[in-house]
A and B are shown apart, each in its own frame.
Chain A
Amino acid sequence: MIVRRPNLGLPRRVVTYHLLFCSIAIVWLVVGFLIVAHGVFSARSITACLSRLGKVTAAVELEYLRHAEHSIHSLLVRAKNESHFRYCALEGLDGTYLVHTDASLVGSKVEEHAGTELRWASISGTRYLDQEGNPIHEYRVPLSVGDRIIGALRVGVPEPSLFATVVDIGRVAPLVLLIPLGLVVCGALVLSRLTNSLSEIGRQLHQLATQPIGEPVQLQALELKDATSLGWNRAVAALERNTNGELRQSVQERLQNAVAERRVTQHAEILRSLPDGVALTDVEGRLTFVNRAVAALLGEELSEGADLASYLGNAGLEAIVNPEGTSTGAPVIGELQRPGKQSDRFIRVARSPVQLAHGAGQLWCLRDVTQQKLSDQMRDQFIDTATHELRTPLANIKAYAETLVTCETIDVEEQKEFCNIINSEVTRLARFVDDLLSISSIEMGALCIDRQRVDTFRMFTEVLDKIEPLMQQKQIAFTSELPEKLPELQLDKDKFVVVLVNLLGNAAKYTPAGGQVTFRVTIENSHLQCAVIDSGIGIEREELPKLFDKVFRSADPRVQEETGTGLGLSLAQEVVRMHRGVLTVESELNVGSTFTVTLPIEGAK
């Protein structure tokens, strides 16, 4: 019943339980006490009875000796009244009452009551119920004068009742009952006080449990009494802080915040990962942001707070640092030269003023323009070469043509020679224009090859026919090593002949007179290899990676001496690549170079 009424409150329930169990215990104790007390009282009253019975017996025997049985009646009546007997009687030997406190029964036959037999030494008795149902103890004591038995004394004593015991105990009840009851009540009060905080906490939690989900949680702080209430108050305060903070924001707001935060992180990460260096300095020129590329570009780790301007100034970029003239808002641009692994690197630094939330600053953008510089240099070199390559044959053609036209007296041999020169210069010019067109086709991805089944032996013969006069002219020992059996291949013959002539022509060009050039064709692992081996000037190790770049020409003066466009090798590589082959080079300066074209043989295993 108590358990089913949770709204009763914890302390009340605790106190109620306490009182309930205490009451049961007290009742239990009281009943036990009564039972014990009753037993004690009964035993005591019987003992008192028996002792009085002894006295009465002695008095009756004495009276009998003196006055026979005549004055015994008054004695018995007196004994009955004094000792609260129900009755007192003298039984004669004939089985009739000689004397009885109830005069009507004198002379009548002694009635033997049915009941429980009692015996106390020489005293025997019976416990029986009278007409009203009250238990009566009847004791019989034999009377004797001298050795002669004169009869028996019969005494009826009412048994002490439980009520009588209660009445007796009633006198000590205040002491026995009130003190434990008082203690129980005290216990209840202490319990109630101890659980007072819990009661309030319990009430609030119960309220929380019954309210619909989603409603704002409202908990009140308690009056500060003990550690429990203090702890509760702190918990409530913490909950309130959370509720007033982010929890109070709606899901939408929190989502928006999360998205914004993610965007900011994303932007920061993008900035940090940019290949261009980005740095930000404050009014005092201290770095407030620097991305990873800056360190890579400058080759030095600059931490936030460092002075970027003076660092750049020290690195040789005073121009961008000194003038404050950024009032127009246009960026100030400077170029920084840093020593690199192979060659110097160029870094373009742009500084522009920027207005930030916390004040004016400078935004620095750093970009590696080495490649751009190189390509500018290459373009200049190419234009230079191209101009020379175009103008030289043109100059010859014009000079010879003009001479032919203006000179009236010129012999036929000379005329023929001049015409031949014009012719060969035109050829040279045409070849250069062809190369230029091919290169521009490569640039546009429009170079196409026309592959047909080609008898490679005939192709090589054609190449050798073209190249041998050149070798002889330059007094170079030229040998060609071709295998006996050569396969047919799917090739663009014209372009491939150009490639081989170009490689062999280069070998002739850059091998001094008296040197050696070998053209060796081998078949290995289903690949056809054409190697052009010379004992020429060789190529500097540093220049090897750039060798196939368009319009690259070695800085070696021995190369600069020769005419050339720097187009041949890049064109050759492209043609070989389009035949799914590779063009490789091995070279040692002043020892010689080997260019190898490796082509797959289709259909071969």
Chain B
Amino acid sequence: MNKSVLIVDDNLALLRVTQFAMERAGFQTQTARNGRLALDLAKSTAFAAVITDQQMPEMTGIELSRALRALPEYRECPIFLLTAKGLELELSRLREDLGINGVFCKPFSPLAVVKAVEDSMMTCA
């Protein structure tokens, strides 16, 4: 079973701790500092799930999600959004339009993210 996860965040500290939590849960992880790098990485490697920050330079999390959904191999891939906003984003619309599997408002619990990723993989499997 593919257990590689792509984590995208411009904040290194948060990237680090998310990566730490995911690896502790037994996932293989790769990281990217921004959306564009993440997209390039996603094209070369098939990830089982993507965790991305929303507010990032060059390409936001939502833009990245849209670009990923345009790729055939990521049409069903679970995508999780981390955001410092929350209230401004319409979660239901994000789910319907982009099939975002989960949105986590900062400050979030890394364990909750891990659990959500695990759950989504179970469902997919």
A368 and B17 CA atoms in complex are apart in Å by: 50
- CB 8 Å contact bits of A511-527 with B (1 = contact, 0 = none): 00000000000000000
Docked-complex contact A391 and B106, CB < 8 angstroms: yes
A70 within 8 A of B: no
In chain A, what residue has the closest Cβ to B108?
A: A395
List, in ascending order, chain B residues with CB within 8 A of A425's CB. 13
Q: Which of B18-72 contact A (CB under 8 A)?
A: 18, 20-21, 24, 55, 57-58
List, in ascending order, chain B residues with CB within 8 A of A400's CB. 13, 17
B99 within 8 A of A: no
List, in ascending order, chain A residues with CB within 8 A of B17's CB. 396, 399-400, 403, 418, 421
Chain B residues within CB distance 8 Å of chain A: 11, 13-14, 16-18, 20-21, 24, 55, 57-58, 82, 84-85, 105-111
List, in ascending order, chain A residues with CB within 8 A of B107's CB. 391, 394-399
List, in ascending order, chain B residues with CB within 8 A of A3's CB. none
A391-B84 contact given A397-B107, A399-B107, A399-B110, CB 8 Å threshold? yes
A-B contact pairs, 22 of them (CB 8 A): A388-B55, A388-B84, A391-B84, A394-B106, A394-B107, A395-B14, A395-B82, A396-B13, A396-B17, A397-B107, A398-B108, A398-B109, A399-B17, A399-B21, A402-B110, A403-B17, A403-B21, A418-B17, A421-B16, A421-B17, A561-B57, A561-B58
A372 within 8 A of B: no
Docked-complex contact A387 and B85, CB < 8 angstroms: yes
Closest 3 A-B residue pairs measured CB to CB? A395-B106, A398-B107, A391-B84
List, in ascending order, chain A residues with CB within 8 A of B11's CB. 392, 396
Docked-complex contact B111 and A402, CB < 8 angstroms: yes
B25 to chain A, nearest CB (A): 11
List, in ascending order, chain B residues with CB within 8 A of A388's CB. 55, 84-85
In chain A, what residue has the closest Cβ to B20?
A: A403
Q: Which of these, B18, B106, B110, contacts A392 with CB under 8 Å?
A: B106
A403 and B114 CA atoms in complex are apart in Å by: 12
Docked-complex contact A421 and B55, CB < 8 angstroms: no
Docked-complex contact B84 and A387, CB < 8 angstroms: yes
A359 within 8 A of B: no
Docked-complex contact A421 and B111, CB < 8 angstroms: no
In chain A, what residue has the closest Cβ to B10?
A: A561
Supplied contacts A388-B85, A399-B108, A407-B24, 7 more A-B pairs, CB within 8 Å: A384-B85, A388-B55, A391-B84, A399-B18, A399-B107, A406-B111, A561-B58
In chain B, what residue has the closest Cβ to A397?
A: B107
In chain B, what residue has the closest Cβ to A425?
A: B13
List, in ascending order, chain A residues with CB within 8 A of B106's CB. 391-392, 394-395
Interface hub of A384, A387, A557 (most chain B Cβ within 10 A)? A387
A561 to chain B, nearest CB (A): 4
